[in-house]
A and B are shown apart, each in its own frame.
Chain A
Amino acid sequence: MLHLTKGRVGCLLSRRVVLALTNRGARMSSHDHHEVSDKVDMSQPMYWDRLDTPLPDRPWKDVLDSTDKSLKQKEKGPWTALSKEEKIALYRLKFNHTYPEMKRPSHEWKTVIGGMFIVFGITGLVVLWQCHYVYPPQPHTFGEEWQAKQVQRMLDMQINPIEGFSAQWDYKNKQWK
């Protein structure tokens, strides 16, 4: 039997958000019956509000009371006999959210951006520590004097004298153009 807690069903699409905000990862236990409620049987067809699945496996409202049942009976006849409110009621029986309701904007982006920046910050700290404790001393070729001598040698060799490096150097006046 496949069971899934309702909390986790809703969070499947934003699992990272949930894990970021709760400690459930550490306390996930099948024996914790006080936390678990509203188990969903995963072996039955499920209802999903998804933009790319317009017709889910089952309608939204499975258990119909007497008014719903009579409406469903009326639906079996010609639809021109249905009033506007009845049509909307039938829609609401079949679907939970309309497409505009599904696409409603949320505040999730703030969590995402915030989490991103937190990770950047932690990475920055790691890099800082690493620069101080891990990196070996720089090669001697990185020093100012050596670099200057290197540039002078490149100019003496006339590296790329037409469109590149030495083309930017004014040989007469001994300065950059």
Chain B
Amino acid sequence: MSLAKPAMRGLLGKRLRFHLPIAFALSLVAAAAFKYGVTEPRKQAYADFYKQYDATKEFNNMREAGIFQSVRPTGE
């Protein structure tokens, strides 16, 4: 009943050598996924919206709907 002597030293180093590269890689993947999944589409959505945006027209729509207090709809 003689077993091999178990590893007594370097346990943390061994664990770090295994887990740290994985941790770094996964963090980078998470950041890239968020950037290309969320922020880039959002920036594109904002750009597309404002390309075709006519502020005066929208203002007049809102005015006619009666939401402003400073300018009432035309005809009041």
Q: Which residues of A are in contact with B by a Cβ distance under 8 Å?
A: 153, 156-158, 161-163
Interface range on chain B (Cβ under 8 Å from partner): 10 to 19
Q: Which residues of A contact B61 (CB under 8 A)?
A: 156
Contact B58–A163 (Cβ < 8 Å): no
Q: Is the CB–CB distance between A162 and B67 below 8 Å?
A: no
Cβ-defined contact, A156 with B49, below 8 A: no
Tell me whether chain A's interface is mostly helix, strand or loop, or mixed.
loop
What's the minimum C-beta distance from B21 to chain A, rounded to whole angstroms? 35
A163 to B45, CA, bound (A): 8
Give me the 4 closest cross-chain CB pairs, A-B, nearest first: A156-B65, A162-B49, A156-B67, A157-B67
Residue in A153, A158, A162 whose CB lies within 8 Å of B58: A158
A156 to B63, CA, bound (A): 9
Q: How far is the CA of A108 from the CA of B53 in the complex (A)?
A: 66
Q: Given A153-B67, A157-B67, check contact A163 B42 (CB 8 Å).
A: yes
